[in-house]
Amino acid sequence: MPWDDPGIKADGPSSGSRSGSGLSETDGGEEFPMNGVVTLLKPRFWSFKNGYVSRDKESRNIKWMLLWPDRSHFWVGIFIVFYRVLRYFQGVEGFGDILAYKLLSMVLVTFFTLLIFSSIIISLSKFYLSRDLTLVHAMPVSPGQIFWPDGSKVR
* Model confidence pLDDT, tens digit, residues 98-139: 998 998 999 999 999 999 999 999 988 887 787 877 877 787
Q: Sign of torsion, CA 44 46 48 54?
A: negative
Q: Is the pTM of this model over 0.85?
A: no
Could you tell me the pLDDT band of residue 152, with boundaries at 50, 70 and 90? low
pLDDT tens for each residue of 49-92: 776 666 677 777 777 788 889 999 999 999 999 999 989 988 88
* Percent of the chain scoring above 70 in pLDDT: 67
Q: Which candidate, 15, 14, 20, places its Cα nearest to that of 2?
A: 20
Which amino acid appears at position 124 of this protein?
Answer: L
Residue 23 is given by DSSP the state: E
Please report the pLDDT score of residue 21 as a whole number: 45
Note whether 108 and 100 are within 8 A (CB): no
* Residue 87 three-state SS: helix
* Residue 96 three-state SS: helix
Q: Which residues contact 144 (CB under 8 A, 6 or more apart)?
A: 151, 153
